Every structure is written in structure tokens, then in C-alpha cells.
Structure 1
Amino acid sequence: MHKLRTSVTLLAGLCALPTQAEQPATEQDSVIEKIQVTARKRSETMQDIPLAVSALDKTTIERNAINNLVDLQSQVPSLSIYAARGTSSTATVYIRGVGQSDPLWGVEPGVGIYLDDVYLARPQGALLDLLDVERVEVLRGPQGTLYGRNTVGGAVKYITRQPQDSLSLKADVAMGSYGQIDGKFAASGSLVPDTLLGSIAVGSFNRDGFGENRLTGKDVSNKDILTARASLLWLAGDDTTVTLALDKTRDNANVRGARRMLENGFELYFEGQPPLPVSTDRYDVDNGMTLDKNITNSQGASLTLAWDIDNSWSMKAVTAWRDGDTQGAIDFDTGPYPIADVDADYFDRQLSQELQFNYSGDEWQAVFGLYLMEAEAGGQIRNRFALPFAALGLAPPTLIPGPIYYQYGVSGGQVDTRTVALYGDASWQFSERWRLSMGLRAGRESKEAQVLNQGFSDDNFTQPNGLVSADFTNKESWTDFSPRLALDYQPNADLLIYGSVAKGFKSGGFNVRANTLQVPDSAEAYDPESVLTYELGIKPTLFNQLQLSLALFHSQYKDIQLSIFTGVDSDNDGNNDGFFGDFTNAGKGRIRGIEFEYLWTPAKGWRVWGNAAYLDASYQEYLSGGINLAKQKEFTDVPELAFSLNLQKRWNWTDMGELSASLNYQWRDEVQPVTNQSALLKQPAFGLLNATLLLNLDNSNWRLALEAKNLTDKEYRTTGYDLTDSGFPIVTGYYGDPRTLTLRATYQF
């Protein structure tokens, strides 16, 4: 039958032809093309899936200048994604108010990021630039019956282009604001005809800093990323393929710029100079730290065996290995003195194995799987604190400059994780129009933490001072059963109505910042968290020109894991002289909302699309010191209302080719970007305006694009630190990108 080889050859031929979305506006009609997705481990259109899922194919990605995962935020409802705190490439992701802002080892993300079929266990280096991508899919709500790794908030799937039989090449060069110079190259073709196919992609992304360190003159918030990926596809038999994929990324950026949002009175006592004022710039800093790099190296390999057993059954086995190392630094006070300076080394390793069986029959479609993962992550966090004796009440406040109490400490250790899970999800077409979907995931996760947090008498951390705040080894295991049930009704090919209930689970863990002297319970494991989500959805398509998707959901969120900075008294003198990164469970909360997506092609060459989400999130229990503070707390990074509007016009422009103009406006309500409820860091409602001009030259393989991001140069915070609760007069805000313009040239055949 040679059906796999025939499929690969046919796919290559289809990819070489212009799709309906790529043809000139004078030749295309206004019918909406249907995007095929694999959210349920089988190929389906988005409008046929009883799930809240959004997908962007490569044409949409290119036409809307979606260059990295951050750009997805404007295209997917209820999604927040940005660089974590003082980093450049560590991902923080929230979907429907569920996520995790702390990238520390041993802490699980609330939203899973997948590179093809491989789960990325750590967020470091996960803020991917889009390189040779086929599409990106975002699933909202608990996932576990379809994926071996359970996530409570949802999943982001980054799907790369597979090797093709026919030769194809693509080169992309971009130049723009702040000295931007990007280059991407991708090639695919047959190495051994009808037997071995290969592809390679390389990307270099470089940009000067958005700001500078005024003490050293060095850039901050710059970009220096080199990434590469290679794949080999062996057509081992008529029904069998073997794929080997390798990838490597190096991020060599400087530290991230930030805004000082509170005058730091501690500075006065060092040299008698007045404190630096609140910053008027969102990126420039006055960092006195010697270390000024945030370096991340990550690499991985996967081997995938796919076998069509017969006309109904298929099998896939995915073995994957990943490895990462990170060096980073954060000058919390953004000033010249070592008041609160921290640098860290992280490492992570993971080995996973997934065995998956798919069944497709007349009435039943199903996926069953076994998932195993062993992972280890750890490192050292080196803290340098300097507090004036006057601030501790040990010297007269008029003694300026005054004596300084220097405190040096290291939080170090490792967390090992072992996961085993069985999962399955089946759909039964029990009548012509009705379908029942049932799923279950049964898993067990074990963690073992080794933690040693101790003080040092020198800033090189070579002389322990005998003060040990935590020294323990502890382990814990958790067992979970996560079900899913959905019923959908499809009266015709253009309408789907569904209802579902699903549970998500995220394992507990250990706080490697533990301070058992002041907080004895910090050596104990914090609890797992879970989400139970009820959802109703409708997906109509009208006249082949208007595609809609509406979802209403209600989530019960229990044992919410929170990372909070609080003060500690390390020498028991009654004064806080350090801050402690506590990890705790908030209790329970409720999140409910409405999500709306639309795509309209009113006439030839015109396209209107976007989304909107209304989220109502509130704590029902938030215990602190035995007191329920639920009414005083609010969820992190949950805008009550957010929407996006996109307009696109395509027409033939003189004799040069087809011109496409796109305009994107996105608006987000106010959000609280940090867990400890900072009034200074709260981000008011704001809107961003982006635009793209794209010219496809006639009778040519060239494409030119002009991309404009944040046209109004809006200042907006994505995250930050507020350490005032711990006794430090430090509030630091991190901001999104300023206005940028990029000219891009692409050659492809």
C-alpha cells in the first residue's frame, strides 16, 4: 500500500502549492479555510472539537508578525504570557487565571508548554522564538486525559514543520529598531529518495538594549539568541516511520532593565549621598552588581516511532531528553549598593517516555497512553543584603553615613521528580448528531528535595559563618485521578454545541528557599492544587464566511500554590534583616468567565477576526495566621475584560504583487501582576496597537514585510517585585517592549 510514503509525498506536494490563504486576492473567494489541529492526538478542524482551543497556522503567523510566544497573547482569549520577572527567556504563562509566576526549580508550571510531542518541564528558555513552525495550538482548561503530563490551566503546543520529500528552502532577514538584526534559515528535502528525509533550521535573534546601566554604560533588555533544530525522518516501511529531532538554544542576553518605583532611603547611609529618585525611564538602571548577564542554554533530543498497525489502530512511541543550564542576576534595588543583589545558577535534566495508541473507527475514536518522566532540577541562589544599622534600630538615624550590616547567604539544593501516568480519552458517536467523550488520567508523582540554605561571611561565598537556616532532605508522593466528560451535538456540518466537565491536577512540592529557623513548617511539602472546570460551548459557521466560538466556564480552584516574599529576622533581634520567599497554599478560589472568538471574511480580500474574554476571579479562602483574607486578596494577572480586534486587507498593488495590510488592537483591563498585592505595581487598563504591511512580489519567491509593534509606545508593566512587606524599601517594575519597527525580507521556494 505504501500509504505512509504516499502521504508524505502528497503532503510535500500540497505544501509546495499556494494554499487558499496564500493565493492573490483577485483569485481567492471569501470562504474561510479550515485549520487542521491535533489537540486530541488526531487531525480535526477547530470547529469540530468539543474543547476551547485556538490555533494559528504558519500563514496566519507570518501575516500577523507573530515572532515569538509572547505575540500569541493578542490572538488567544484568556491567555497571558510574558518573560518571568528579571529574565528575558523564562516563560510565565496564565490561562483563565491559572498559572505560576515563580520559575524556581521544583515548582511546576500551571500551563504546559510542548515542543511537538515533548513536554518542557522547566520554564527557563521556554519563551520560544517561532522558527520553522507549522502551527501553534493553545488548549484552555484542564488537560490530562489527552496528555501524559497533567496541567491545570491548559497547554501551549509548538508544532514544527516536518521534513518534506521535495527540496524547499526559506531564508529570512530582519532589521529594525534598537539595532535589531535577525536571521532565519530553513531547508528540507530528501536525503535518500523515498527513504530518508531531513530538515534543518537555524535562527539568530539580536537587538541592542531598550535601556542601559547608567553606572557601566552597558545595555540592558537586549537580545542575543542563537537557536538551531534538525530532524531526520526515516520511512522505515510502508506503515512505519522513525523521526529523530534535535534542538539547541543559547540565550546570552544581559540583565533585564527595570523601573525603580520607590525611593530607597537605605542608600543615604552608604556614602551620605541622597537616594536616587524614582526612575523616569522604564528600562534604565543603576545596577552596582558585577554580574550583568542572564545566560540560558537548553538542548534536547527526541526519537519518535510511528506505526500504522491496521486501518483502525496506530501506535506512537516518543522518547525524549532535555537539558538546560541558566545563570542569572537580579539587582532588586536597581541601585549602586548591594542592598538586595541576587545571582543564581540553575540546572535541569529530564528524560521522558510516552507510549500512545490511537483508534479510529466508524463510531469510536480514542487515544490511550502511558507516560513516564524522570527529572531533576536544582542550583544555587546567592543573596547579598546590606542593611544600615539605623534601619535596624541599632544606630542613630542621624548617623550619616552609618555602619552597614552585610548579610550573605546561599539557598541551594535539588528536587528530583518521578512521574508515571496512564491516560485515555474516547469519543463515541452514538447517533448521527450526538457524541459522548470520556477520559481519565491516573497518575502518581514523587518528589525528593535536598535543601541546604546557609550564611557566609564573605561576598565570594567561600567562608560559611555557621548560620544554617535550612538543612534537610524530604520526600513526598501524590496520587491523582483526573476525569473528563463531554457531550456534544452537531445538527449539521456548520454547528457544534458541547458541554464538558474536566479536572486538572498539579503536584505539590518543596520550597528550596525554606527557612526552618523562623518558619519550621517550610521544610514540609506544600499541597497539590486542582481545578474542576465546567464548560458550555457553541461553534457555529455561517455562510462559510463567519466563524464563531463561544465558551462559558466555571472553575473551582483548590489549594492554590502561591509564592510570596516576606520578611525574616535572621538574628532574632526583633528586626527583619532579610526576606524569605515563602511558598504556600492559598486555600480555594472561583474563576468563571466567557470567551468569544470570531473570524469574518466579508468580501474578497477582507478579513476581520479577534477575541474577547470576561473573567471573574475571586478567592473564597485565603488563610494567613488563621485569618481568612480572601476579600483582601486578588488573583495574579487576571484582567476582568480583555479583547483583540484584527483587520486585514489584501489587494493587487500596481504590477509588483499582492499587498496585505493588517492592523491589530488589543486591550486589557487592570491587573495585579504580583502575588503580594502591590498598589504601586498594579497595571492600569491599557491598549496596544500593531500593524503589518506585507508584499508578495509577482512571479518571485520574495516577500517583503514592514512590522510595527506598540505603535503608540505605550508603557505597561508585565511583572515586578514589591519587597516592602519584608522591610526593604524596594519596588521594581518590569515592562513590555517599547515601539519597534522591523523591515523583513523572506526568500522561499
Structure 2
Amino acid sequence: MKSFVKAALLAGAAWSVVPTLAFAQAAEEGAGVEEVVVTARRREESLKDVPVAVTAVTGERLAATGAVDITTLQQTTPNLTVQVARGSNSTLISFIRGVGQQDPLWGFEPGVGLYIDDVYVARPQAAVLDIFDVQRLEVLRGPQGTLYGRNTIGGAIKYVTGKIEGDPQFKIKGAYGSYDQKDLVASAKGQVNDWLGLGLTWATFNRDGFGKNLTTGAEHYNKDVVAARATVEVTPSESLFFRLSGDIVTDRSNPRHGHREVPALNALGQPIAGGEVLSDIYDTRAGAGDKNKVEARGVSLLGEWKASDTLTFKSITAYRAGETEGVIDFDTLPASILDIPARYNDHQFTQEFQLLYTSDRLQGVFGLYYLNATAAGAFDTVLSQANLSIATAGAVDTKSYSAFADVSYDVTDRLSISLGGRYTKDKKTGQVYRQNFTGLKTPLFGNRLAVPGLIRSNFVSSDTYERFTPRVSVKYDITDDVNGYVSFSQGFKSGGFDMRADAILTPTSVNGYDPEKVDSYEGGLKGYFFDRRLSLNTAVFYSKYKDQQITQQTPVGASIASQVLNVGRSHIYGAEFEGQANFTESLFANFSLGYTKAEFDEYRALDLTRTPPVVRDFANERVFQNTPKWNGSVSLTYKADLGDNGSIAFIPSASYRSSFNMFEIPSRLDQDSYWLLDASVVWTSADDRYRVGLHGKNLGDEEYRIGGYNFPQSAGVLFGNSVNAYYGPPRTVSLTVEAKF
């Protein structure tokens, strides 16, 4: 409880200081903060009225600041980590308030749910969504199980596209920038007649690499992505609405192999040729190859029937699938010291039914949800120093059934109570195969001459996980413009099976791992001040994390022991603070601040360094990954009216992240604190048909890690003491031109 009080005092101090600083003098008339409407509770509401910690960024704001993809949310959203996964170009990792999942291997599920227009995206591959054809992005922090599909134990990220409205319009947007960036987005959408609307968007994103592969000569950290989205909307009557949508994205960017952080040593502890630490963090000497392709596609059908003024029925049917083929060079050397050629494929079918009820005092959503998904894959672990390759393959089938409800009742004109709950039942079947082969690569990846050796795993296991998770909140409108709320919610993510399981090194891995749970307490204040010239959204939270799932890979001899562990217990507390201050009609500021303190209370794991291995408590030696204690941002927007010549806006911004750990075990890959400085200048024509923008990103050219692999010398020199890191983009400048017809 003391932890929760500390967080509450932090947020209270921010509430008392910021209004004084922001409004030492009165702002002029007409400079009110624009109200933001969100669908965080599956119905349209003002952001101020939602008793949930939500950050919403409009498509207009994203365009004005030159946002490239959804990882831009990390810079402006309190207590959020959203990044490109290590060793990939378009695989997403997300953490909210310390809860998430870094490992994108098939079978492991995210702790933060991603939704495209209310369709749950089960797999993280190709989920680093580029910003185009988007109305807004929403980030919901804390467990959201009573309202959203699956695996929202940490929160949810929503990519929302708008309804097709108005006369047909054609829009084209091009960008040219650093590293020969060449982007093009073209869209055509509009109402064909009173009942039919059509939309089509096509986009291509291309850029040379930030560095080079010095072994193959290929671009490194380049971008080669093509995406498209098509929509048909039919409104046969005032009470019926249908929307059929399809999307596809193909990423042919070269593989990312990382940057070696320590000199390479062979099995005798001697330096390996070409294993020095390169001066350019974006260069590599990886010899594993430059072949990479990721494709994801989906189709969904929304049906909506307004049966009455109070009752609406919805059906959301969706199918998604994807394939990945690539390679990760862990050692970043020309030789195959530790190379991982890999391929994944997945597909999912989801069906959701919703009933929405709205009356004068009662609002609610009731739903049924079904998911049938399969995720499969294969990879080789190639160890040239031992002339050994380990083949790993398998699949996990998931069937999930859920029923949920969330109901709000206005007890008085100012007091409302919300009750919600979700029952989830997941059935999973995992197939795991792992075998040693003598030779470089195995028959899984074309080497038919490889000599089969010890079978390390070959099993099929099934299990069922079910749980009811409740939510309750109380909201009180202190004034017409300010409200406060308190809430309690539980989050749940089912267990599963480790696709890397080694039944010889860790025999109990055949039993799988258990679900994890979070009990989250939250309190918040939201509102407008100074005649709505200042908006503030704050929250404090305290969470108890139980049976936390941790993925851990430890070299043991010539093999790697993979463990997915339910390590025990932890607690997390913190505060969040964000808002907008409008000083004049021409000048406003956006700001955010997040604080998270996360600590393990129990971390029980197998100590593989002892013979025989024993289970012990590592709580005092382990830390949370991807969870900086502090993060924050501030930006100013100044708009000048040029009359018949349109308007121009200048938008400088700065974001900060304090130091954080890359994994639960501290390592040299851990990132120090850093600042990112951005700026945009945007001209818009008087009729809003033309827009030109100049956007600078990371203007300070900060070098900062976003991922890595850690197999140091102390863990076994057979792996070439492979310690490599992946870095965020360097300084870039781009020019964008947009026209509407």
C-alpha cells in the first residue's frame, strides 16, 4: 500500500504544479482544447469520460509530426514500450507498465493485444504497422479483458480506420528523405451513392540501409515494404451497416543481424578473424545470408444492426494469415558460429458477437468471442565450431472461447459504477520436435547429407486453461469538466508449450507452463481547466503479477537450454500524466510523463550452472525487461495563419527514456537513459488540398539499443561469445508532399 501512496503523491504533485506553470497568464479567447472521442469501451465516448488510462493520437497529429509507424507511440505514451523486435524489420514487441512479451517465436503470445478495427492480431510478425489510412491510434493501459479479445493482460493498442464519408476523393502522398527514402501512398475513397462506399489504399515504403553488410555487400537496416487496404461499406437502411475490409503487407527488407558488442572468440578463446567490434553500429559482417520475406494478410466483415434507439447488435468475422522466411545471424560473423535460419506460418479465424445497450442511465456491452488459430515454424541452430546443427520444429493449435460483459450505471447525474467480467477457456495442443545433426544445417533447411543424432524432444501435449476475470470501477464527476475514478481489474493470459523445449536438459518442459495473472488497482483524474484551455489525464496504479511467464535461453555445453518459466510473484506501481495546454489560438503544448517501479518478490528458476541443476530463488538478482523507471515527452506547436496562402506549423518535440534492462538478467546490452529530439515544419494550403512537410527525426543523432541477444563468453565460447545489439534509427530528414483531388 505504501507503494500505491507514493505513486498517488507523485501524480498529485504534478496536478498541483502544471496548471500554475502553464497558465501564469490568461490565454486568449477561442483557444480551447479539442475534445477527443475514443472507442476504448466499444462505444464512442469523450476521452475525459472513460474510466480507463487511455492515450489517443489522431491521424492528423500523426501526419503533422511525420510519424512513420506505430513505434512512434513509445515517445509520447506514458509507460509504453513498443519497438521492432530484435533480429527483424517488422515484428512487434510491446510492454505496458512492465507487462509484455519479447519473444516472438510461434506459441508465445503477447501480453499487449493489437487490434486493427476491433480485430485481434494474434501474431507479432508484420505488426509494426506503417502509418497510413488511419483515423487514430489508441493505447489502453492496464488489463482490458472485459472488453477485448485475448491477451490484454498488460493493455491494448488499437489501429482505428474511419468510416467512408463524403464525395469520392483521391489522395496521394509522397516522401523523400535521408538514406534515399522513397515512400508513396495513394488512396481513393468516398460514397458512390447513398448506400455504397468504397475505399482503396496502396502504399510502398523504401529506404537504403543505415549501414552495410561488409561480408555480402548488402544494405543493412534497409526498408522494402508494400501494403494495401480495401474497404466496401454498405448501408442498405438506417438500421443496417456492413463493412468488408481486406489488407495485405509484404516486407522484403534485408535481414537485420545486429551489431557485435564484444570481440569474437573461438572455442579455444582465441580471436576470430573479422570478429572485431565495428565502429558503425549499423554495420555487420554477418554471413548467414540476405534472404528475408514477411507477409501478413487479413479480411474482416463487420455487420451492425440498430434494432432500436437503445439496442445494437454487432458481428465481427475475421480471418488472418501470415508467413515469414528469414535468418538471424547471432554471431554477426562470416562463419556460422551461431546462425538461425527460420520460417514461420500462422493463421487465425475469429468470430465476435456484441450486444450494445444504451439508455439514459445504463450503458453496456455484452459479447461472445471465438478464436481458432495455428502457429507453426521451424529453425536450425547452426554451430560451426562443433560441426553441429540442432533442428527445431513444431506447431501450437489454440481454440479460445470467451464471454464478456461491461455495464455502467449512472447512480446519480455525477456518480456512475461499472461492473465487468470475462470468462475465458483456452485449449492448446503443442507439437515439439528437436534433434541434433552432424553438419551445417539440417534436412529442414536443405542439407540432406546431415547425419541425424540425438533426438532431444519429440512430443505432443495438450492442456486447457480457463478463468473468470472481473473488473469494477467507480467514476465521479467532480464538475462538468473534471472527473475522478478508481478501478480494480484482473488480467489473464493462458499457459502453453515451449517450442524450443529440450526434454533432455529440462525434462519438465514437456508439461508446458501455466497461465499468468495480474491484479491491477488504478485511480485517475481527468478533466479540462481554464475554460477548457488545459486538459489533464492522470493515473496511479498498483499491480500484483502472479505466475509471470519468462523466456530464458542458457547455453549448456554444445546446446542451448530453453526455459519458459512461471517464476513466481512481482509487484508494479507507478503514475502517468499527460495533457495539452493551449496558450493561444496559435500556440499549444502536448506533454506526458510516466513512472514505473517494478520488482520481483519471487523468481524461482532452474540454476543450470550447478550440477545437478537445482531450483532456487533469483528475486534479488533479476530485473524487469523493457521497463524504464521514467519516460516523458513535450512538444510545442505554433501555427501561423498566412491568409490566402494557407498556414504553416512549426512542431519541435523532445522525448526521454531513463535507463532500462534488455532482459531479466542484467547485461552489457542494458540501455542508458537518452533523449530524442524531433522537429517538423508543415505548410497547408488555404483550401486544405495541399500539404508540404519537412520532418527531422532524432536530430541529436542519439545511439540507443532497442534489442539484442546475449550469449557471452562466460556462457560458452562454442557460441562465439555472441553479444549483439539492435539500434534505433539515426538522424533522418524527410520531405513529404500531399495532394487531394
User: What TM-score, normalized by structure 1, do the two folds share?
Assistant: 0.91
Structure 2 counterpart of 1:302: 300
Matched, 1:535 2:533: no
What letter matches 2:339 in structure 1? Answer: D
CA contact (8 A) 1:149 1:371 kept: no
Question: Alignment partner for residue 325 of structure 1, among 309, 323, 326?
Answer: 323
Structure 2 counterpart of 1:715: 703
What letter matches 1:746 in structure 2? Answer: E
Give the alignment of 1:630-645 within 5 angstroms: 630-645=619-634
What letter matches 1:145 in structure 2? Answer: T
**Residues in 2 aligned to 1:35 and 1:700: alpha-carbon distance in whole angstroms:** 21
**Residues in 2 aligned to 1:198 and 1:140: alpha-carbon distance in whole angstroms:** 34
Matched, 1:621 2:602: yes
Structure 1 counterpart of 2:455: 468
**Residues in 1 aligned to 2:272 and 2:424: alpha-carbon distance in whole angstroms:** 59
Structure 1 counterpart of 2:672: 684
Closer/same/farther in 2, CA of residues 261 and 304 from structure 1, 3 Å limit: same
**Residues in 2 aligned to 1:210 and 1:524: alpha-carbon distance in whole angstroms:** 44
Alignment partner of 1:310: what SS? Answer: coil
**Residues in 2 aligned to 1:85 and 1:204: alpha-carbon distance in whole angstroms:** 23
Quote how far apart the aligned CAs of 1:268 are: 8.0
Matched, 1:516 2:503: yes
Alignment partner of 1:265: what SS? Answer: coil
Alignment partner of 1:133: what SS? Answer: coil
Quote how far apart the aligned CAs of 1:149 are: 2.0
**Residues in 2 aligned to 1:309 and 1:354: alpha-carbon distance in whole angstroms:** 18
Give the alignment of 1:232-631 within 5 angstroms: 232-266=232-266, 274=273, 276-289=275-288, 291-387=289-385, 405-461=386-442, 462=448, 463-542=450-529, 543-568=531-556, 576-624=557-605, 625-631=614-620
Structure 1 counterpart of 2:655: 666
CA contact (8 A) 2:266 2:272 kept: no
Greater shift in the superposed pair: 556-565 or 719-728? 719-728
Give the alignment of 1:15-414 within 5 angstroms: 29-191=30-192, 193-266=193-266, 274=273, 276-289=275-288, 291-387=289-385, 405-414=386-395
Which string of whole-angstrom CA distances, capped at 9 and with x for unpartnered residues, describes residues 188-240 of structure 1?
1233x112111011110000011111011111110000000000011122200
Question: Alignment partner for residue 730 of structure 1, among 706, 710, 722?
Answer: 722
Quote how far apart the aligned CAs of 1:671 are: 0.4
CA contact (8 A) 1:268 1:275 kept: no
Closer/same/farther in 2, CA of residues 116 and 549 from structure 1, 3 Å limit: same
**Residues in 1 aligned to 2:503 and 2:257: alpha-carbon distance in whole angstroms:** 34
Structure 1 counterpart of 2:16: none
What letter matches 2:708 in structure 1? Answer: G
Quote how far apart the aligned CAs of 1:655 are: 6.0
Structure 2 counterpart of 1:401: none
Quote how far apart the aligned CAs of 1:603 are: 1.0
CA contact (8 A) 1:343 1:382 kept: yes
Quote how far apart the aligned CAs of 1:91 are: 0.1
CA contact (8 A) 1:286 1:335 kept: yes
CA contact (8 A) 1:674 1:720 kept: no
Structure 2 counterpart of 1:19: none
What letter matches 1:524 in structure 2? Answer: N
CA contact (8 A) 1:267 1:337 kept: no
Which string of whole-angstrom CA distances, capped at 9 and with x for unpartnered residues, describes residues 462-490 of structure 1?
24513111000001111111100000100
Greater shift in the superposed pair: 666-675 or 160-169? 160-169
Quote how far apart the aligned CAs of 1:407 are: 0.6
Quote how far apart the aligned CAs of 1:699 are: 4.3
Closer/same/farther in 2, CA of residues 379 and 273 from structure 1, 3 Å limit: closer
Quote how far apart the aligned CAs of 1:137 are: 0.7
**Residues in 2 aligned to 1:595 and 1:293: alpha-carbon distance in whole angstroms:** 42
**Residues in 1 aligned to 2:555 and 2:318: alpha-carbon distance in whole angstroms:** 41
Structure 2 counterpart of 1:4: none
Structure 2 counterpart of 1:6: none
CA contact (8 A) 2:633 2:656 kept: yes
Alignment partner of 1:71: what SS? Answer: helix
What letter matches 1:425 in structure 2? Answer: D
What letter matches 2:216 in structure 1? Answer: T
Structure 2 counterpart of 1:696: 684
What letter matches 1:261 in structure 2? Answer: E
Which string of whole-angstrom CA distances, capped at 9 and with x for unpartnered residues, describes residues 438-484 of structure 1?
00000100100111111223335224513111000001111111100
Quote how far apart the aligned CAs of 1:632 are: 1.1
Which string of whole-angstrom CA distances, capped at 9 and with x for unpartnered residues, describes residues 252-286 of structure 1?
0101152211111118889x865622222211000
What letter matches 1:565 in structure 2? Answer: Q
Quote how far apart the aligned CAs of 1:59 are: 1.6
**Residues in 2 aligned to 1:151 and 1:276: alpha-carbon distance in whole angstroms:** 42
Which string of whole-angstrom CA distances, capped at 9 and with x for unpartnered residues, describes residues 523-547 of structure 1?
1111111111000100121021000
CA contact (8 A) 1:162 1:231 kept: no
Alignment partner of 1:344: what SS? Answer: strand
Quote how far apart the aligned CAs of 1:719 are: 1.0
Quote how far apart the aligned CAs of 1:422 are: 0.2
What letter matches 1:632 in structure 2? Answer: E
**Residues in 1 aligned to 2:734 and 2:645: alpha-carbon distance in whole angstroms:** 21
Quote how far apart the aligned CAs of 1:337 are: 1.0
Structure 2 counterpart of 1:22: none
User: What TM-score, normalized by structure 2, do the two folds share?
Assistant: 0.92
**Residues in 1 aligned to 2:648 and 2:622: alpha-carbon distance in whole angstroms:** 49
CA contact (8 A) 1:212 1:257 kept: no
CA contact (8 A) 1:172 1:745 kept: yes
Which string of whole-angstrom CA distances, capped at 9 and with x for unpartnered residues, describes residues 605-664 of structure 1?
101111001111000000133321111111001111111011110002486321100011
> Unmatched 5+ residue regions in structure 1?
1-26, 388-404, 569-575
**Residues in 1 aligned to 2:654 and 2:493: alpha-carbon distance in whole angstroms:** 34
**Residues in 2 aligned to 1:273 and 1:519: alpha-carbon distance in whole angstroms:** 32
Closer/same/farther in 2, CA of residues 140 and 266 from structure 1, 3 Å limit: same
**Residues in 1 aligned to 2:541 and 2:570: alpha-carbon distance in whole angstroms:** 14
CA contact (8 A) 2:274 2:333 kept: no
Which string of whole-angstrom CA distances, capped at 9 and with x for unpartnered residues, describes residues 159-180 of structure 1?
1122224212211000000010
CA contact (8 A) 2:112 2:151 kept: no
CA contact (8 A) 1:565 1:726 kept: no
Structure 1 counterpart of 2:608: none
**Residues in 2 aligned to 1:287 and 1:212: alpha-carbon distance in whole angstroms:** 10
RMSD: 1.7
Structure 2 counterpart of 1:391: none
Quote how far apart the aligned CAs of 1:383 are: 1.3
CA contact (8 A) 1:444 1:477 kept: yes
What letter matches 2:561 in structure 1? Answer: F
Closer/same/farther in 2, CA of residues 452 and 274 from structure 1, 3 Å limit: closer
Structure 1 counterpart of 2:22: none
